[in-house]
Amino acid sequence: MGKLPDEKIELLLTTPGTAIGSSRFPLEQEQYEAMVSVLKKHHIKYVLFNGGNGSMDTCGKVSRACQGEDIFVVGIPKTMDNDISIIDHAPGFPSAAKYIATVTKEVGADVKSLPIHVCVIEAMGRNAGWITASSALARKNPGDAPHLIYLPERNFNEEEFLADVKKLYEELGGVVVVVSEGLRNEKGESIVPPIFKTDRAVYYGDVSAYLAELVIKKLGIKARSEKPGLCGRASMALQSEVDRKEAILVGREAVKAAIEGKTGVMVGIRRTSGEAYQIETPLIPIEEVMLHERIMPEEYINERGNDITEHFVQWCRPLIDGDLPEMVSFKDEAEHQLRSRI
């Protein structure tokens, strides 16, 4: 492939997915070894891996296979799921967080103007609740959406969910609930019963549709579901600026590291202490990253398991470029004016 003009390279900043393509093809040990001879044959000295836990695992295995050769292998973290361990957060996540916070605020305004139903928004992240939790950044004033947040880190309890929804519906009229696509019950099974099976896999319905149905059936309250799905990981308009800058930075640092002869490392993101948000990008031995999947720590989840804590909000806020745009409700303004006259 020839050299691309700068204006094409610039388009990477506003192109969702990956311009280099991707695959889901699992590699065997012989293939790792075969790769070394292919790289040598073509005089390829630098190999960069861009992705999440799966890609970093592959990155580690390739770097092992290349040991002793004149080949340098470096990982560049990128996963909206934010489940790479050791680092403060992974590039991609801040934009996914900004997306879910923004749409939750917007849907909250929509539901508030016609408060007749319960609206269940489904967020991506099957095993880790980072994205789902970020919806909390939509809140500014008491009563703002999201009113309930359910993460995959906690077993989902239908009775408690229904009780919480009922209480909030009676209070507010319109209720916005944000749930992870991977909610499981106390047995560790999907809360949605399987709808059918093929030779290869079991298929479940959508968590959001299932819960909306449950609200209608058990509480007799109108309910609907929204599942932005891929729209949430592909949105350019709601890209976080912090995220974009950091993604460029870790890519650049990875190239630098490889050229300087580093190998078997991933570029990390570490938040420096101090009041203003700032990061540094240490190189982390890839072996350390390969071992763990990172889920939401207990201190970020409230006791009842239907919300996050202020700790999480403080950690997440700087990643989405600060406050979201303001909105207005004449009902709120009227109430505010009434209160201020008393």
Does 202 sit near a second copy (CB under 8 A)?
no
* Cα→Cα distances 304→309, 313, 319, Å: 11, 17, 26
| Contact by Cβ (8 Å): 272, 278 | yes
- Select the residue interacting with a second copy from 6, 43, 195, 339 (CB under 8 A): 195
Q: Of 33-41, 86-94, 151-159, 227-235, which part binds a second copy (CB under 8 A)?
A: 227-235
Give the tokens for residue 254.
């990875």
Of 22 and 278, nearer to a second copy (C-beta) is: 22
Does 66 sit near a second copy (CB under 8 A)?
no
Choice among 57, 70, 81, 199 that is catalytic? 81
Task: Give the DSSP per-residue string, 237-266.
Answer: TT--HHHHHHHHHHHHHHHHHHHTT--SEE
Does 233 sit near a second copy (CB under 8 A)?
yes
Does 111 sit near a second copy (CB under 8 A)?
yes
Does 342 sit near a second copy (CB under 8 A)?
no
| Contact by Cβ (8 Å): 134, 316 | yes
Of 30 and 326, nearer to a second copy (C-beta) is: 326
The distance of closest approach from Cβ of residue 275 to a second copy in the complex, given in angstroms and rounded to an integer, is: 29
Of 314 and 337, nearer to a second copy (C-beta) is: 337
- Select the residue interacting with a second copy from 30, 114, 275, 303 (CB under 8 A): 114
Which residues are registered as beta bridge partners of 48?
74
DSSP type of residue 127: S
Q: Has 323 been annotated as catalytic? A: no
Is 152 exposed, middle or buried, given 0-12, 13-18 or 19+ CB atoms closer than 10 A? buried
> Residue 323: what residue type?
D
Does 203 sit near a second copy (CB under 8 A)?
yes
Residue 27 burial (CB count, 10 A): 14
Does 44 sit near a second copy (CB under 8 A)?
no
Does 81 sit near a second copy (CB under 8 A)?
no
Does 273 sit near a second copy (CB under 8 A)?
no
In b/e form, how buried is each residue of 29-68, taking b as 16+ CB within 10 angstroms? eeebeebbeebeeeeeeebbbbbbbebbbbbbbbbebbee
DSSP type of residue 121: E
| Contact by Cβ (8 Å): 96, 80 | yes
The distance of closest approach from Cβ of residue 211 to a second copy in the complex, given in angstroms and rounded to an integer, is: 13
The distance of closest approach from Cβ of residue 273 to a second copy in the complex, given in angstroms and rounded to an integer, is: 33
Does 321 sit near a second copy (CB under 8 A)?
no
d(CA 166, CA 158): 12
Annotated catalytic residues are 81
Q: Which parts of this chain interact with a second copy (CB under 8 A)?
A: 1-2, 4, 8-9, 11-12, 14-24, 102-103, 106-107, 109-114, 116, 119, 121, 195-196, 198, 203, 205-206, 209, 213, 216-217, 220, 224-231, 233-238, 325-331, 333-334, 337
